Amino acid sequence: MTEPTSGYLSAVSRSVRDLLAGRRGTVLIAIAGGWFLTMGVRMIYPVMVPYLQSAYDLDLTTAGLLLTVLFMAYAIGQLPGGVLADRIGERLILTSSMLISAITLVLVITAGSAIVLFVATALFGFGAALYAVGRYTILPQLYPEQIGAANGLTASSQDAGQSVLPPLAGIIAAGLVWQLGFGFAVPLFLAMAAVLWVVTPKRSADDADDAEALSLSGLRYIASILRQPAIVYPTTILVLGLFVWQAFTGFYPTYLVQEKGLSQPLSSGLFGLFFALGILIKPLSGGAYDRIGARRSLLFLTTGPIAAFLALPFFDSFWVLIVVTAFISTLLGFTTVTEPFLLEHLPEDIRGTGFGILRTIGFSIGALGPVFFGAAADNGFFDEAFMALAAFAGAIMLLALRIPAE
């Protein structure tokens, strides 16, 4: 191992030890645990698409619409989550999200019709969104000097959940009944709600009361901030990245089964590998952001996905697909760069609300990815849809050059 590499790994190790030390380390672990569960369960949906198609007679376009409903509800919940985080604090928001997720999953597994399934899915997505903003806005309070590294660590817990829980759900659904592929998570959400309520610090009354009402003058102030180049370009990258990410993750397992001929367990395992690599990629990209800034980090992170999306239609070998999946997985680091950048450039008095607005914009547009992707697949353009994703990733690379230098 070369001396620069050894020195870098040593610095990463010291950074992780600093993050996990003391009371704030306990809070960070609990928040990461909730994020592991929330995002892991959300990504069970793509694995369960074949089962839902059979149970409710859904074609790929309708299945894509179900995923769009999930992601759109998640997008819509970002703004209320941000406003509530500013007003009542993260402790109540994070705990409530866990309880809502548990209740709505019960509705998902007991749905008697496709309409009920769609409604329950929307409610689950909204509940998950409440957790998303709260777990971000608490980080600058806990780690003002290491926000990139702290975000990278919690973000890696997302990929740990997405690498473990979807394959587990696939095994449970194949071996038992598909409802248990969702249902096993209900007691986990309830347990996590109790943990978060105990360990998350309660915001003081003064802090909670400082959040201003969304008056006309307040909205004008927020709009003036959101028009700044330091906000516009990273937000546009966030939008494009989420569109690509949600389109890809929504149908990659189905693509591997229907177009590449893989079995359901193999496709679920490859899908899990995609997220497992994010456990490494996100802390490294967060550390890279702290060290070299957003622009250079994003240029590196988008190179692999562009090449991999273009190559994917031409290879059927399982071992080659592993390599292609690994290259695509570097895409997972884009939020670990853009979101800390946005948080640092939003004034503290509107950080929750402003960040909620930006994530609502990003996830609302990004949520359209699965339905367009599903429609393309239904019309025989599965391979071409992946090539289109390469073009979107190329646009992200070009926009990264426009981010103001730190």
pLDDT tens per residue, range 79-116: 777 667 667 777 788 888 999 999 999 998 887 788 88
Per the structure block, which two tokens stand in for 82?
């941000």
CA 217 vs CA 212, 214, 224: distances in Å: 10, 8, 11
Q: What is the mean pLDDT of residues 375-381?
A: 80
Most confident of 131-145, 153-167, 223-237, 240-254: 240-254
What's the rounded Cα separation, in Å, for the pair 267 and 259?
11
User: Is the model more confident about 71 or about 106?
Assistant: 106
User: Is the model more confident about 395 or about 8?
Assistant: 395
- Name the architecture of domain 14-400: Up-down Bundle (1.20)
Task: State residue 158's pLDDT score.
Answer: 78
Least confident of 183-197, 298-312, 338-352: 338-352
Per the structure block, which two tokens stand in for 64?
């894509």
Task: Enter the pTM of the model.
Answer: 0.68
pLDDT value at 63 more than 90: no
Per the structure block, which two tokens stand in for 347?
């004034």
Per the structure block, which two tokens stand in for 18?
């600093």
pLDDT value at 20 more than 70: no
Task: State residue 265's pLDDT score.
Answer: 77
Task: State residue 123's pLDDT score.
Answer: 92
Task: State residue 122's pLDDT score.
Answer: 92
pLDDT tens per residue, range 142-168: 766 666 667 667 777 877 887 788 888
Question: What is the band of 22 on the pLDDT scale with cuts at 50, 70, 90?
Answer: low
Task: State residue 130's pLDDT score.
Answer: 85
Per the structure block, which two tokens stand in for 377?
């697949």
pLDDT value at 66 more than 80: yes
Least confident of 10-14, 287-291, 392-396: 10-14
Q: What is the mean pLDDT of residues 315-336?
A: 85
- Beta carbons of 133 and 80 less than 8 angstroms apart: no
What's the rounded Cα separation, in Å, for the pair 62 and 23?
46
- Domain boundaries of the chain, sorted by first residue: 14-400
Per cent of the chain over pLDDT 90 is 5
Q: What is the mean pLDDT of residues 285-291?
A: 73
Task: State residue 216's pLDDT score.
Answer: 61
Least confident of 31-35, 151-155, 203-207: 203-207
Mean of pLDDT over the chain:
78
b/e burial code for range 109-148 (CB count within 10 A of at least 16 → b): bebeeeeebbbbbbbbbbbbbbbbbbbbbbbbebbeebbb
Task: State residue 312's pLDDT score.
Answer: 86
What's the rounded Cα separation, in Å, for the pair 141 and 30?
15
What's the rounded Cα separation, in Å, for the pair 312 and 314?
6
pLDDT tens per residue, range 110-152: 877 888 889 999 999 988 888 887 777 777 677 666 666 676 6
Q: What is the mean pLDDT of residues 62-74?
A: 82
CA 67 vs CA 52, 146, 202: distances in Å: 11, 34, 34
Task: State residue 188's pLDDT score.
Answer: 94
Of 385, 377, 312, 351, nearest to 147 by C-alpha is 351
Q: What is the mean pLDDT of residues 38-67?
A: 82
pLDDT value at 34 more than 80: yes
Task: State residue 102's pLDDT score.
Answer: 92
pLDDT value at 35 more than 80: yes
Task: State residue 205's pLDDT score.
Answer: 40
User: Is the model more confident about 14 or about 295?
Assistant: 295
User: SS3 of 6, please?
Assistant: helix
pLDDT value at 281 more than 60: yes
Task: State residue 218's pLDDT score.
Answer: 62
Sign of CA dihedral 382, 274, 69, 116: positive
Show Cβ contacts of residue 159 under 8 Å, excluding neighbours closer than 6 positions: 39, 275, 276, 277, 278, 279, 281, 282, 332
What's the rounded Cα separation, in Å, for the pair 83 and 72?
18
